[in-house]
């Protein structure tokens, strides 16, 4: 297996993670792993439950492993299981042990933490539009990345600035 650096774009909902992931992959001429949760939730004919979060976590890792086969030096991940952990703890007050085990087992090279400095866009799958909720979640993710022991960079500003900052962070990591 070739040596591939895994880059995770992480942060609260509606902070441009998918947009940045796609642009970063394009600039680095590689592939990116979309957020599996969106696909899973779009295909549900009911309100999601706590059990769905475990299915989403498994689906995210399966998708990551599949896309990794086509990576060219870098793999850009639009989320990782820390996002599922935070989602589960905020929504249900706990996180499934399997998710925590996978977080401990999976290794990534760089985290790019997207800031809440872009406007909220309504979407039926998004749940935390209030500024204080967004700030709480941003602080939660900042604590996570700061404590991973992995290189990380804060990503803010307009789309061009975000991409430039992300590219610089990836290249020096």
- pLDDT 10s digits, 61-109: 999 999 999 999 999 999 999 999 999 999 999 999 999 999 999 999 9
- Of residues 64 and 130, the one with the higher pLDDT is 64
Give the whole-angstrom CA distance, residue 163 versus residue 19.
10
Instruction: Note the residue count of the chain.
Output: 173
Q: What is the pLDDT of residues 146-155, one digit of tens each?
A: 999 999 999 9
Give the whole-angstrom CA distance, residue 159 versus residue 103.
29
Per-residue pLDDT, 122:
61
Which structural domains are found in the chain, ordered by start?
Answer: 5-172 (3.40.50.300)
Per-residue pLDDT, 173:
77
Around 131, how many Cα atoms within 13 Å sit in the side-chain half-sphere? Answer: 3
3-state secondary structure of 78: coil
Residue with tokens 């990534």: 108
Question: Does 127 score more than 80 pLDDT?
Answer: no
Give the whole-angstrom CA distance, residue 50 versus residue 4.
33
Residues forming a β-bridge with 9: 112
Give the whole-angstrom CA distance, residue 120 versus residue 137.
14
Per-residue pLDDT, 2:
65
Give the whole-angstrom CA distance, residue 33 versus residue 103.
17
Q: Among residues 113, 129, 104, 125, which one has the least CA distance to residue 162?
A: 113
Which of the 8 DSSP states describes residue 147? T
- Overall average pLDDT of the 1-22 stretch: 92
% of residues, the chain, pLDDT over 90: 81
């Amino acid at each position: 297996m070739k040596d591939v650096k895994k880059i995770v774009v992480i942060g609260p909902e509606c902070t441009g993670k998918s947009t940045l992931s796609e642009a970063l992959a394009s600039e680095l001429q590689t592939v990116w792993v979309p957020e599996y949760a969106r696909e899973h939730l779009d295909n549900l004919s009911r309100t999601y439950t706590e059990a769905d979060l475990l299915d989403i976590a498994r689906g995210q890792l399966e998708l990551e492993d599949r896309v990794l086969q086509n990576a060219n030096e870098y793999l850009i991940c639009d989320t990782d299981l820390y996002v599922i952990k935070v989602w589960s703890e905020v929504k249900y007050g706990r996180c499934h042990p399997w998710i925590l085990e996978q977080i401990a087992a999976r290794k990534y090279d760089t985290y790019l933490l997207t800031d809440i400095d872009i406007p909220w866009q309504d979407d039926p799958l998004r749940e935390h539009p209030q500024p204080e909720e967004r700030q709480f979640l941003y602080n939660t993710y900042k604590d996570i990345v700061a404590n991973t022991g992995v290189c990380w960079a804060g990503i803010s500003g307009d789309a061009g600035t975000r991409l430039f900052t992300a590219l610089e962070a990836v290249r020096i990591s």
